[in-house]
Structures are given as C-alpha cells and as structure tokens.
Amino acid sequence: MEPIKLGICGLGTVGRGTVEVLERNAASIARRVGAAIEVAHVGSRQSLPQLRAAGVQISADHLAVARDPQVDILVETIGGTTLARRLVEEAIAQGKHVVTANKALLAEHGNALFAAAAAQGVQIAYEAAVAGGIPIVHALSTGLAANRINLVAGIINGTGNFILTEMRDKGQTFAAALAAAQARGYAEADPAFDIEGTDAAHKLAILAALAFGIPLQFDCVFTEGLTELDPQDVQHAAALGYAIKHLGIARRTAAGIELRVHPTLVPREQPIAQVDGVMNAVLVNADASGPTLYCGAGAGGDPTASAVLADVVDLARLVVSTRGDKNSGKNGKGVPAARVPACLSDPPATVPVLNIADCTTAFYLRFDAKDQAGVLSRITGLFSDAGLSVEAIQQREPTAGSQEATIIMITQRAREWELRRLVQALQGLDALTSRVVVIRVEDLNCAESPDEHAQSEEA
Ligand code: HSE
C-alpha cells in the first residue's frame, strides 16, 4: 500500500512532538491505518536530525507545503491566525485534508474555513485544538453522537488551573502563582490569553459548536479572567467545601445557550473539582449517556501530538478507503463529514446565545460590614426583598481592635440580573465597608431543568 504523505507546517512544541510520536509509534500507527504514514514535506526555518536523515523536504515557505502535490494531509501547527489562515485556505483549495491544533484560528475563522472545506470535499480535523491529549472532540462528535447534550463544563486552560491550585495549596497571590506557572513554561507567550480566559473562550466556542450544532460564536462567549481573584476567596471557598476552578461552561436552556468562562466555585465532592495542577478536564452531560468526565494533559508536546496524530489516523483511513474511487478521494464530494460541526448542517441551528445577565447560577458573595446589632438582618432583608434565597451564610469574627466582620454568603440559583440588582442594594447600605466580591457557583450535578429559563426576563 502506498504510504500516506504528510506535510507539517511549524516545528514548535506541537510540530516536533508530532514528528517524534509518529517516528516512535510508526509501526502500530501503520497497522491501524492500513498504510504507512510518512512526513513528506515540512514548513519551517529549522529542521530536525531525523527529518534530515530521512531526506524530508524542508521549505521556509509554508505555502509551498500546502501546494506540494504529493502531500495528502496538511498538519498546521504554526499557530496565530494570519499566516495559519492563508495556509489552511490554500491547503483546502489544493484539495488536501487539514489537521490543525489552532483553537484561535477555528474559533475566529472556523465558520468560513469549514464551509470552504465542505465545498472542496475535504475535512478539517482539530482534536488538538481543545484540551490537548484529551479526545474530547472525538467524544462529542463520535462517542456521544446519539445524544442530546445539555452541558459541557471544562477546565480547558491548564495554566489557569495550575495558578488556582498554587493559590489554594500555598496561599500564594495571583501574581506569585502566575510567576510560578511562567517559570515552569506553562503559560502562553502572552499569558493574557491564559489568565484573562481568551484561550478557554476559544476552546469553549469550538466545544459548543460541536455539542449543540450552533455556529462558532467566540464573540458571544462571556469571559472573566483570574486576574482579580483574591487568595482569601480561594481559602474561604475551601473552608466552605468548594474548589475555585476557571471553567468554560456551555449549557443548553429553554431560552438559549449559555456560553461563559469565569472563576467558579464547585463543590469539592464533584470529580472535576479534584482535577488540580496543570491538568484539564471536561464534564459532559448528555441525555442518554448521563454525565461523563474526560481528564488528562491539556498541553505539551506528546499529549498534543497524540491528538494531532489521532486526526491524521482518521483522515489517513479515509484517504486509504477512497483511493482509486473516481467519485470520492481527497478531492471527491463523497467524503463523510466526521468532525465538521453540525453548525454547517443544512439548515443550521438557530438557537440564540444568552446574554450573561440572563444566565443562571448560584453566587458566592464576600464583603465587610460594621459589626453591629441589626446589620445582618438588614442584609438578609435585602435578599428577601429581591426574592433571592440564601443557601449558606458565614460571619468571620473581626480581628482584635477591628469593628468590622467579613460576611460570606452563598445564594441559591438566580439569574445574573437579579443578583446584580441585589448587589447594588447591598452596596447602598451604610453598614457595608467594602465592595461586594461576587463569584459564580455551579454544583454541576446536571439535574437542573433545561426549562429554567422558560420565563426569561430582562434586567
Ligand atoms: N496555554 C494553554 C493552557 C495550552 O495553559 O492550557 C494550550 O492550549
């Protein structure tokens, strides 16, 4: 059987990892595909000894790889959205299948790229774009294909999870924990992508398109980062039995889809709350399978290469099975749409994405108040006026000499606009001596009714 020829653009951590894992496991991969997979052409300014030894063509011009007629599958690991977009467009125009690890590219330009690929009868595969070595794209598109998915909630940025774990276990400030993440090489070159939630929002947009059959809508993801997180809230949450996780949450409700990335208190007994350090985890709740949890390394050369090569194997099988078929093949129209998001199905889903004000969660509140008789009853009176129920309340006694107590409250589930109205009222109390810190709380028990938003109301 003639080998399947790969073009690989980019020899950073992921590109190198892909070359190395392919070399290491070439025999078993060939058995699984039914043909050998060879690196035929690499786009890079550098090379690797094993590529030189194998006489692999190296081009500084990535587009030369996309235009190389011997290449069956183009692997894009250069990152960014400008050259990467041109490269993927060119590969598609040349009738090549594409494998990409590029979440920003797909989240921001995926709708157009998937449409172009469908028109050309080729596929864009992107297992490596979300959660590194965890096969969550395959799980959503294949393993759970028979289900109606209600919830996807994930720790999908390892740097953020590492920072939160350091803050909890070592009592570090956010800045010190970020410095530790950078020292270990976890954070992106621009750490803002990690700590402000952009990286997680890119990944969530992709997961939501797969889970709900909606277009990629990165611009509609509500995103709140970790930079404002105070270590005392991490400690208070732990004392109350919660872990704070930076979650990406996509939830189906009767009124629309919630798409949000923010720090979240999660009960410690939830398995996802126990996923610490740089690890990723994704919880999916679906109607037939029930809840399933996927956990593993979200970044790094080998784990991401595992995801890239899973897609290469899938597409290579497709190339093998369609070779010699005049009506199909890599340029044919008979190619099954394995991982093309259902957003490109006909007709596309038109479920709206909800504004954050209409999203529903429970809330953790922390504020300081004068330690005087009657203050607590005025506070709880405001909750009652707002129609909001209190799940838990805790008062930290004032330190010696201080006239202020720290009050921590956890509300029952409410819409965000209701909570904002309550916070405004609380802040009007002269007994309050600090701002009100608010962090969303999710029990993730998957038992909430999707009809929760049926009576949606504007703020
Ligand atoms: N910077 C990302 C993370 C890895 O920390 O999870 C690549 O997506």
Do 87 and 9 touch, CB atoms closer than 8 A?
yes
Q: Which atom of ligand 1 is nearest to the CA of 159?
A: 5
Q: Beta strand 222-223 with 414-415: parallel, antiparallel or unpaired?
A: unpaired
**DSSP 8-state class, residue 45:** S
186 lines ligand 1 (CB under 6 A): yes
In CATH, what number does 136-296 get?
3.30.360.10
Amino acid, res. 173? T
Instruction: Look at residue 350 in the predicted model and tell me its pLDDT.
Output: 74
Tokens of 315: 């597409």
Q: Which atom of ligand 1 is nearest to the CA of 188?
A: 1
Amino acid, res. 414? A
Instruction: Look at residue 330 in the predicted model and tell me its pLDDT.
Output: 45
Q: Which atom of ligand 1 is nearest to the CA of 156?
A: 6
Terminal-to-terminal C-alpha distance of the chain: 64
Tokens of 22: 């392919």
How far, CA to CA in Å, does 325 sit from each of 318, 330, 332, 333, 334? 11, 10, 9, 11, 10
Name the residue with the closest Cα to ligand 1, atom 7.
299
Do 56 and 11 touch, CB atoms closer than 8 A?
no
Query: What is the C-alpha separation between 173 and 192, in angstroms, rounded?
Result: 17
- Choose the catalytic residue: 96, 103, 203, 245: 203
Q: Comparing C-alpha atoms, which of 8, 363, 297 is closest to residue 131?
A: 297
pLDDT band of residue 108 (cuts 50, 70, 90) is: very high
Place of tokens 């030369």: 64
Query: What is the C-alpha separation between 349 and 302, in angstroms, rounded?
Result: 36
As a whole number, the mean pLDDT across the chain is: 91
354 lines ligand 1 (CB under 6 A): no
pLDDT digits (tens, 9 = 90+) for 295-310: 999 999 999 999 999 9
| Distance from the alpha carbon of residue 131 to the mean position of ligand 1, in angstroms | 8
79 lines ligand 1 (CB under 6 A): no
100 lines ligand 1 (CB under 6 A): no
pLDDT band of residue 349 (cuts 50, 70, 90) is: low
Q: Which fold has domain 4-133+301-343?
A: Rossmann fold (3.40.50)
Query: Any idea which of 47-51, 239-243, 443-447, 453-457 has the lowest mean pLDDT?
Result: 453-457
Residue 197 scores a pLDDT above 50: yes
| Catalytic residue status for 96 | no
Amino acid, res. 202? H
Tokens of 120: 């050309």
pLDDT digits (tens, 9 = 90+) for 249-289: 999 999 999 999 999 999 999 999 999 999 999 999 999 99
pLDDT digits (tens, 9 = 90+) for 7-25: 999 999 999 999 999 999 9
How far, CA to CA in Å, does 62 sit from each of 7, 58, 108, 253? 9, 9, 21, 43
Tokens of 201: 């929002």
Name the residue with the closest Cα to ligand 1, atom 2.
157
Residue among 77, 137, 159, 206 whose CB has most ligand 1 atoms within 8 A, to mutate: 159
Q: What is the mean pLDDT of residues 156-185?
A: 95
Q: Which CATH number fits domain 356-458: 2.30.29.30, 3.40.50.970, 3.30.70.260, 3.30.465.10?
A: 3.30.70.260
Name the residue with the closest Cα to ligand 1, atom 4.
299
Query: What is the C-alpha separation between 239 and 130, in angstroms, rounded?
Result: 32
**346 phi and psi angles, rounded to 5 deg:** -120, 115
C-alpha torsion sign, points 276, 158, 171, 233: negative
**DSSP 8-state class, residue 369:** E
What DSSP assignment string belongs to 278-329? TEEEEEEEETTTEEEEEEEE-SSHHHHHHHHHHHHHHHHHHHHHHTT-TTSS
**DSSP 8-state class, residue 224:** -
Do 214 and 353 touch, CB atoms closer than 8 A?
yes
Neighbours of 262 (CB within 10 A): 22
| Domain spans, the chain | 4-133+301-343, 136-296, 356-458
159 lines ligand 1 (CB under 6 A): yes
**For residue 86, what are the contacts with CB-CB under 8 A and spacing of at least 6?**
63
Q: Beta strand 257-267 with 242-252: parallel, antiparallel or unpaired?
A: antiparallel
Q: Which atom of ligand 1 is nearest to the CA of 186?
A: 5
Residue among 194, 278, 279 whose CB has most ligand 1 atoms within 8 A, to mutate: 194
Query: What is the C-alpha separation between 26 and 37, in angstroms, rounded?
Result: 7
